[in-house]
Structure 1
Amino acid sequence: MDKRFKDAIRRHNKNKLKSLDEPIYLEGGSETTLLTLLDTIPHTQNQVDDWEELQDYLEEDPKGVFAREHIKNHLEVNFRAIALRRLARQSWKDMSIEWGITISTLSSFYRRYVDKQK
């Protein structure tokens, strides 16, 4: 029973989503994040164009769909605001401090909105 429980915990943790802001400890004791590591990967012009197009579309939000839903009592905290900050590489922690909303509330709202659009 003990081994089965440990196996289940390992499988559960293996499939768990990780935050790009979560610290990663490297050899030698240095610390970084996935977001920082992603910045070191060269991007093709097509990828850069796609990101810029996405950012432009979010900023324009022609039909207002990205700003329609918001976190309760925080009209300014909608999918559009969160997505634009994430594209600009702002951390969940910084957004949490700025808006006074927990990281889990922000990220859950963001994920629910994305999942609903699928």
Structure 2
Amino acid sequence: MFTWIPNAYVKYPCTHEGLRAAEMSVQKSIRVNMTLCFSQEQAAAVYAATRGSKEPVYISPVVGRLDDQGEDGMDLVRNIKKMYERSDGHVHVLAASIRTVSHLLCSFFLGA
């Protein structure tokens, strides 16, 4: 499917329907990036739905949007990274909605 763009990823939201679509996609070796992640529970659901993926899976917590809601978006990134430390490594964290230099530097520091 991705012969003409070898590094393409399909983006799905971290919703029930998005998780089902991601599960079906990884079974067909389609690379996915799960977006609009607002919680650690969603990150755990992404891990479970994409388990066994032959391709890397990305999850994108929306740091800036969480900050807008009065939460610490970078805390979510830290917690997800910590949760995934003991996993098989198929899901990688890619911070999204980066709005400040602090977000950028913290993302680099965390490897997200």
Same fold? TM cut 0.5: no
TM-score where L is the length of structure 1: 0.30
User: Which structure shows the higher strand fraction?
Assistant: 2
Normalising by structure 2, report the TM-score.
0.31
Q: Which has the higher helix share?
A: 1
Of structures 1 and 2, the larger Rg is shown by 1
Larger RCO (alpha carbons 8 Å, 6+ apart): 2
